[in-house]
Amino acid sequence: MTDHYDLVVIGAGSGNTIVDDRFDHLKVAIVERGPFGGTCLNRGCIPSKMFIHPAETTVAALRGPVLGVPTDVGPADWAAIRDRIFTRVDANAQGGREKRRSADNVDVHVGTARFTGERRLVVELEDGGSVELTADHVVLASGSRPVVPPIGGLAGVAFETSDTIMRIPALPPRLGVLGGGYVGCELAHVFASYGSQVVQVEGEDRLLAGQDADVAAHFTAGARRRYDVRLGVQLERVSHGPGGITMHLDDGSTAEVDVLLVAVGRVPNSDLLQVEKAGVETDEHGLIVVDEHQRTTADSVWALGDASSHEPLKHVANQDARTVQANLLAVLSGSGELVVSDHRFVPQAVFAHPQVASVGLTEAEAREEHGDDLVIARHDIADVAFGWALAGELDDDAEATGFVKLLARRSTGLLVGAHLIGPMASVLVQPLIQAMAHDLPVRGLARSQYWIHPSLAEVVENALLDLEAALDA
């Protein structure tokens, strides 16, 4: 028997936010193979940031003696931190599922969906059964999963990914991290702060290689002062023995660890859905192809978030979901124009130590795109009043010596990129995002508003003033 729905949503992360009371007159199915809330709530940004907060407390305490405060830091109570986090996360996920199940017009199918035809699906249920569904509209919010590379011996050791590492039973004495992107760097920061000996392996010549080169170099130098960072090398194979897991690198060196975290990227789940059977096209990375309205190449099939976005970020998925929601309502009501997803100025942040935040082009990208029209300014945190509280005897600390770097076009006077590294970078970047999103000119931007003294926001103010002076030079 086949059940027909007005709307089927595959994925209960950001996709779950689409269905509000304006859909109460429709028959809706939500299909989810894991806990409600998706990657962000259960395995990603929310629990990881809850782990990072105690890590930051540890880092601050370690600074105590230098600043004249007698502090002592021991190994973290991993079990207490983990249980505090997941008691709340798991309750939230379960509550989300139960709330949907209690809705009169929504059916929840727990299992893995795959297409068998045009807007026709079969769901292999968690309990072993299956159901067949058809729909007038389908939303693909199926997310992504960690990449597991073909490394020799990896299948023979008990490795972790970002999906599993936060629920391990105990703090590992020695942790190996494969990957120097934001996931690897955030988790290396957590475990190093908690007391693990960390070795991080990255094939590029710096960590966070996708960031602006100056920011990446500054971050890498700071990380190297805290734990073992191996750059420009590949993990050739792994083996398991009495001493734990041995990482064999292609430069001939090795590292002995107790737990290995594989954090080399993520892959969309489109292959699990067999989207080609529905006429849904994907690109060379497996991302579902969508237009500016989040429509796929198949009629009445929509996609959002990690399933279709080159920016695998929760705030992008949420924006995509709002676009899909508005456009579904417009199509279903037969009135109103479709709205467009604006992906021009997508910010990102790395919640490691120090924090990193960016929006727009890197210097290398801007030079390639704008050439001699590019103007750059940089202002150091240590040169503003709040920076004095962080500096002093901590002059070699990557956080105290952070900076704001701004890029603009001389011909337009508009920002094209902003890059920050230092305390609260994820917050300080916001006025720069706003300036870019609303095409606000650099000239006058600093002096058109008050900047609280002596807050750290003054580093943004001064960077803007430096950039204005460079534009006028």
Catalytic residues: 453
Looking at the DSSP assignment, which residues form a beta bridge with residue 256? 246
What is the maximum span of the chain, computed from C-alpha positions, in angstroms?
Answer: 74
Nearest to 210 by CA among 177, 236, 179, 175: 179
Angle of CA points 51, 263, 10, to nearest 5°: 85
Sheet with 174-178: list strands edge to edge.
Answer: 228-231, 197-202, 174-178, 259-262
b/e burial code for range 3-42 (CB count within 10 A of at least 16 → b) = eebbbbbbbbbbbbbbbeeebeebbbbbbbbbbbbbbbbb
N-to-C CA span, the chain: 74
Beta strand pairing call for 106-117 and 120-125 = antiparallel
Q: Which two tokens stand for residue 321?
A: 């979901």
Backbone angles phi, psi at 122, to 5 degrees: -120, 140
What is the Cα–Cα distance from 37 to 453, expressed in whole angstroms?
40
Strand ranges for 242-323 from DSSP E: 244-249, 254-257, 259-262, 266-268, 301-303
